[in-house]
Amino acid sequence: MSPTLVDPDLELLRERRVLIDVRAPVEFRQGALPGAVNLPLMDDDERHRIGIEYKQAGQDAAIALGEQLVAGSVRAERVDAWRRLLDRHPDALIYCFRGGQRSRIAQQWLAEAGVERPRIRGGWKAMRQALCARIDAAAEQPLLVVGGLTGCAKTSLIQALSCGLDLEACARHKGSAFGRHPLMAPSQIDFEHAMGLRLLELPGPVVLEDESRHIGTANIPLTFWRGMERAPRIRVEMPLDWRLQQIHKDYIEDLWTVYRHQFGEWLGWTLMRKQLSGALQRLRKRLGGARLARLQRLQTLAFREHERGNSQAHEAWLAPLLTEYYDPMYRYQLEKHDDQHFLHVGDWDSCLAAARDWIEEASRAERSSCGRSAASAAQPLG
């Protein structure tokens, strides 16, 4: 027989275990555990009504109302949904907010249907606390930050490393006015959970891109952000033509591929145009009216040419966007932090090699430190 409870061990997430989240959909949307599937015990309306009953008449009355609302065919449908998932993933685990009543009821109903599965002790809250603690602990690991002008393919460099942490992927945003992803951005909680899940795989050195604390709608947790600010840096420098090609790939080609795949030709094209024109409009205050109008004209012409098969026409507005907006903004940030020391400044390939050298050196230093600690612990007492 399976145990009734399992401890909130992060190894469950590292193993990519499927989890049955029996909280209401509104709770799931606010943030779920990685690997969770929402198969609620109560829907949003039922949860709302039971909550009102609890406030007005107390716990016993709320439980009685819950038994009335989730009964008969409704109960049977929800148990069937859990069983169907468990047929596909027999080692799945159950959780609710605190590992209390809702997950216990789901577990009991499944047992009555002949299926024994454990629930997570402490539920969502305990697992989230453990994930957040992992992020805070990672701030003390060796961190290397990769900077550089827009279009220097810093994200690609991060992705080329086995210990790279792609914060933009966690946030589903490229970290700029034009960086919004076609799919909905994760909640702050889901961003942190994706970040924590990746950090479970990285117990040693971590390399990540130089980001502001805000990436789209997500905020990097403060403790980790302060760790990034203390970290050594390298800086990628590439010529304008090379960067322009990279920006064209990111902002036009890759974006169009995702929009077309998700929404089809006509709607995808309409939504992509809306996103790019809206992003340009949001820069009005920084660009100024005259410059914005010029870039908008160039962007409109580029879309017309793109419709005729010439996507390279977008370079007419992307090039001044780089040289007149992004580059001065980055250089201003460098001047504000002119005390920053860069371990290495060079082209993309040399920065990739420098990052790998740093990883090797940091890993060696960690092994040496662990060896000294073990030797010290083995010394006999006086």
Nearest by Cα to 147 from 175, 172, 128: 175
The residue whose two tokens read 């439980």 is 63
Which residue among 96, 152, 163, 351 is the active-site one? 96
**Do residues 22 and 96 touch, judged by C-beta distance below 8 A?**
yes
Q: How far apart are CA 266 and CA 9, in angstroms?
A: 47
List the beta bridge partners of residue 93. Answer: 19
Q: How far apart are CA 98 and CA 123, in angstroms?
A: 4
Supply 47's token pair. Answer: 């949860």
Q: Strands of the chain (E only): list them.
A: 5-6, 19-21, 36-38, 93-95, 119-120, 143-148, 164-165, 206-209, 214-215, 218-219, 233-236, 342-346
**Do residues 114 and 82 touch, judged by C-beta distance below 8 A?**
no
96 belongs to the catalytic site: yes
- Distance, C-alpha 72 to centroid of its chain: 40
Among the residues of 249-288, which ranges form H helices? 255-263, 265-281, 284-287
Nearest by Cα to 238 from 320, 351, 341, 141: 351
Looking at residue 353, its amino acid is A
> Dihedral of the CA atoms 26, 32, 36, 37 (nearest 10)?
10
Kindly list the distances between the CA atom of residue 223 and the CA atoms of 31, 65, 69, 105, in Å, as whole numbers in the listed order.
20, 43, 44, 38
Looking at residue 295, its amino acid is L
Q: How far apart are CA 301 and CA 317, in angstroms?
A: 9
With H, G, I as helix, E, B as strand and everything else as coil, classify residue 177: coil
CB atoms within 10 A of CB 253: 12
Q: Which residues are catalytic?
A: 96
